Amino acid sequence: MSGGIDARLAGAVRRAQRVAVLTGAGISAESGIPTFRDAQTGLWARFRPEELATPEAFERDPRLVWDWYEWRRGLVAAAAPNAGHRALARMQARVGRFTLITQNVDGLHQRGGVTDVVELHGNIHRNKCFAEGVVCEGRPDEGERPPRCPRCGAPLRPDVVWFGESLPAAALARAEAAARDCDLFFSIGTSAAVYPAAQLPVTALQSGAILVEVNKDPTPLTRLATFSLLGPAGDLLPRLVGAAWPAE
Ligand code: BV8
């Protein structure tokens, strides 16, 4: 066992020609960004993310939801990609076809060196008009919270997918195709509780892929996984990449 990684797993990763990866909030936890299941801190401690990440919450109290995203943007700005993000960039460089699909909106995979990331749930660094749905470039003036659309005057909102909203069709289509086509699928740092993202690892299994879960806690996927590594991704992923490609 190199670095405590099962040699069969390391061999399967090395031999894989088409790898798809689904990540969730757990891969950014070691960068200091709370997951959805972590209790929120400070003035956000009394809210659950599921209560705030909805169009209804925004319509009911746009400033509260805007301020929650501004708080999270601050956490992301202060965060750096961790060893788990960087290990996935090294994996991308070695695998023939590699598709990284993320539920996260923090952009840390891109900052950690992964290219062509499939963002299923949007990106916290972009805003769009709440009325027109058109992305508004640039940082709005500090004035009103939420700021107004420069074209129509409606409130701006983060360009992320809220509960009850459809996912971007092109991103979901790419993710589903990668899940069907891959020969090895990683599920990393996600509770596998939110759909349609949580369907992707099952699609991969049903298509004959090897399923590898890397997660701190067991999830509904754990009993289905071909290999399950329980622990922090920032520790396990560098060891797995090192075991799969020891020479480099
Ligand atoms: C939709 C962006 C069609 C915003 C997010 C009943 C059954 C099935 C489905 C539904 C249902 N009722 C409603 C639905 C649909 C709903 C859904 O799935 N609900 C769930 C709660 C049942 N889905 C939707 O609404 C989706 N849209 O279906 O459209 C439609 C259209 C109209 C009407 C109806 C349907 C949209 C879902 C997207 C919501 N947006 N985020 C934002 O970020 O603000 S969801 C958000 O939570 C994340 O993006 C992610 O997807 C999700 C789950 O979070 P995780 O990433 O998994 O994080 P979590 O904290 O849960 O877990 C972290 C894990 O990491 C843990 O397991 C932990 O052990 C582990 N971990 C921690 N530290 C580490 C670690 N692992 C490794 N290393 C560590 N260091």
| pLDDT value, residue 185 | 99
Q: What tens digit of pLDDT does each residue of 100-151 get?
A: 999 999 999 999 999 999 999 999 999 999 999 999 987 666 689 999 998 9
**HSE-up of residue 143 (Cα within 13 Å, Cβ side):** 9
Ligand 1 environment, Cβ below 6 A: 24-26, 29-30, 35-37, 53, 103, 105, 121, 160-166, 189-191, 193-197, 215-217, 219, 232-234
Instruction: Give the list of residues 6+ apart from residue 4 with CB closer than 8 angstroms, or none.
Output: 239
In a 3-state reduction of DSSP, which class is residue 137? Answer: coil
Q: Residue 146: is the preceding peptide bond cis (ω within 30°)?
A: yes
Element (H, E) at 136: strand 135-136
Best residue among 50, 163, 212, 237 to mutate for probing ligand 1's pocket (most ligand atoms within 8 Å of CB) is 163
* The pair of three-digit structure tokens given for residue 61, joined into one six-digit string: 């109290």
Q: Which atom of ligand 1 is nearest to the CA of 121?
A: 2
Is the pLDDT confidence value at 247 over 90? no
Residue range 198-222: average pLDDT?
98
For residue 109, indicate whether it is catalytic: no
* Cα separations in angstroms, 65 against 30, 77, 148, 209, 217: 25, 18, 15, 39, 29
Give the model confidence (pLDDT) of 32-55 as tens digits.
999 988 777 777 778 888 899 999
List the end-to-end C-alpha distance of the chain, in Å, as a whole number.
Answer: 18
Q: Which residue has the tokens 């003036």?
A: 141
> How many angstroms separate the Cα of 4 from the Cα of each of 154, 206, 225?
54, 29, 18
Exposure letters 117-141 (e unless 16+ CB within 10 A, then b): bbbbbbbbbebbbbeeeeebeeebe
- Whether the per-residue pLDDT at 2 is higher than 80: the answer is no
Dihedral of CA atoms 189, 194, 196, 199 in degrees, nearest 10, equals: 60
**pLDDT (tens digit per residue) in 151-169:** 999 999 999 999 999 999 9
Q: Of all protein residues, whose CA lies closest to atom 8 belonging to ligand 1? A: 195
Which residue has the least CA distance to atom 58 on ligand 1? 25
